[in-house]
Amino acid sequence: MGPIETDADRLLETVDGSLIAVGDVVTYHILEAGRAPDVALVDERTKRSAIEDEIRETVAAETHLEAVNPPAEISADVIRALVEAIARDEPTTILVEGEEDLVALPAIVAAPEGASVVYGQPDEGMVHVQVTDDHRTEMRALLERFEGDTERFWSLLEGE
C-alpha cells in the first residue's frame, strides 16, 4: 500500500497531518521517535505472541478506549472505537482485545485526506500510507469482498 520504512524518525519526516498507527511495535517506534499518534491501535501482541514488557508499558500506558475484535475479523466494536478516536482532538490509544491487524484497512477509508496510516509489515518494517481518494477506493473495494453485513459495516464506519 505504501513505502516500507525501518526508521521511525525518517518516516515521521514524511508525515503531514494526522497519524494513525496500527500495531504495538509500530506505535512503540513512533512514540520512541517523539511523536504520539493521533490514533493508535494496539493488542499487546506481535506476530501472535505477547510483546515485551517495555513495549507493552509504553504503548498501553495511556489507553483511552477498549474494543473487542476477534482475530481475522473487523468487528462493529472496533469500528465504533476507531471512528470515535479519529473524531477526538487529543491522541487516543485503543486497546484491542483480540487482534488489530485488519483495522488498517478501514482506518485508511476513515482517515482524513492527507492523513498517514502506518502499520507493520512483519520482519520488514513499517508501511506508510498517505491517504488519498485512490487509497480509499482501493480499500473500499477490498472491504466489499469481506464476508458479513457490509451495509452495517459502512454505516458504522461513516458514523451513521
- List, as residue ranges, the binding site for GTP: 24-26, 43, 100, 123
Residue with cell 458479513: 148
| Total-model pTM | 0.90
Contacts of 130 (CB under 8 A, 6+ apart): 2, 14, 16, 114, 115, 116
Indicate the pairing of strand 39-42 with strand 92-98.
parallel
Q: Quick one: average pLDDT of 45-63?
A: 75
The torsion angle over the Cα atoms of residues 27, 147, 77 and 29, rounded to 10 degrees, is 0
Segment 108-130 shows an average pLDDT of 92
C-alpha cell at 41: 491501535
- The answer to which of 6-15, 42-51, 109-118 has the lowest mean pLDDT is 42-51
Q: Domain locations in the chain? A: 4-157
pLDDT tens by residue, 135-157? 888 988 888 777 777 777 777 77
List, as residue ranges, the binding site: 24-26, 43, 100, 123
